[in-house]
Every structure is written in C-alpha cells, then in structure tokens.
Amino acid sequence: MQHQKAQKIDLTQSYPCPCRRRGQLTQIALTEAFGCNRCQQIFVVEEGGYVLEELSTSYRYKRTWRWNGHQWNGVSSGFGESYLSIVLGVILVLLIIGFLLALNSSATSGMVFWAVVLLLLALLPALMVLLAYRR
C-alpha cells in the first residue's frame, strides 16, 4: 500500500513528470522551479513546498499536483464541482418549467412541441459539461 500523505518537494531531487510523458523533472538552476527533459514544461513549487504547479499559457486553469512519495496526485481547483452543480441546477429548472408548460398545453401537438423544446434545452447544458470535462 502506498503512502498517501503529501510530502514536501525537495528541490535537489529529480521526480517523474506529472504530465505522464515519462520525462524526468530536474531543478532549474537558481530557481524554485523544475523542468521536464521530455515535454519541456516548467513547473514551480508552491504552498510551502508541497504543491507543484505547471506554468503554461495553454490551459485556462492551473494544473497542480502533490507528491506522495511514489507518484503525483492531481489537486482539483474546486471549479469543476461548483460548475457541475450550477449546470445540474439549470437543467432541473428547465425541466420544471418545461413540465409546467407541457401540462398547460391542451393539445397533443402542443405537448410534443414543448417536449422537444425541453429536451433540446436540457441537452445544451449537458453538452457544455461534457465539453468542459473533456481534455
């Protein structure tokens, strides 16, 4: 069983690259940063030496990891959880409104129309979540 407690990152050691490209991280001279010999990414040590953060302009949100002595564990920013709950709330509100509109509609063709509109409105946020979590 691996030790799961986060360990302090030692700037004098080399570590495997957290980007899973089988590279090695080594310290960049006179800095508190590491460079990967394979993917050419630069990583800085944050939060008192316990968190490794990728310096990259291609990602909107910072990717960070903690070292447990054997491997890197990703640190979630918390944005994904709040985003997911907001989208689920929007889908629930749209379903309730669509259900109420379908009940008020007297004709069968009106119910089919509102069911299609409701389905399309519920799929749009679901598609947004799918695209947001895909990398």
Out of 4-8, 80-84, 107-111, 125-129, which region has the weakest mean confidence (pLDDT)? 80-84
| Domain assignment of residue 37, given as a range | 15-75
**H/E segment holding residue 51:** strand 51-55
Residue 34 pLDDT? 92
Query: What pLDDT does residue 2 have?
Result: 45
User: Are the beta carbons of 26 and 18 closer than 8 angstroms?
Assistant: no
Q: How many domains does the chain have?
A: 2
Q: Give the domain-ending residue among 29, 49, 75.
A: 75
Q: What is the CB neighbour count within 10 angstroms for residue 14?
A: 11
Least confident of 61-65, 79-83, 87-91: 79-83
CA 88 to chain centre: 17
Average pLDDT, the chain: 78
Alpha-carbon distance of 89 to 104, in angstroms, equals 23
For 3-48, the pLDDT digits (tens) are 478 888 888 899 999 887 688 999 998 888 899 988 888 999 887 8
**pLDDT given at position 107:** 66
71 near 20, Cβ under 8 Å?
A: no
Written as six digits, the tokens of 60 are: 């909107």
The verdict on pTM exceeding 0.85 is no
What pLDDT sits at residue 1?
42
Highest mean pLDDT of the ranges 66-70, 72-76, 105-109, 129-133: 66-70
- Indicate the residue among 34, 50, 75 that finishes a domain: 75
Indicate whether 4 belongs to any domain.
Answer: no
Residues in the chain, total: 135
Same domain? 128 vs 97: yes
Residue with tokens 């990259």: 56
Helix axes 108-133 and 79-104, enclosed angle (nearest 10): 170
C-alpha–C-alpha distance, residues 32 and 45, integer Å:
6
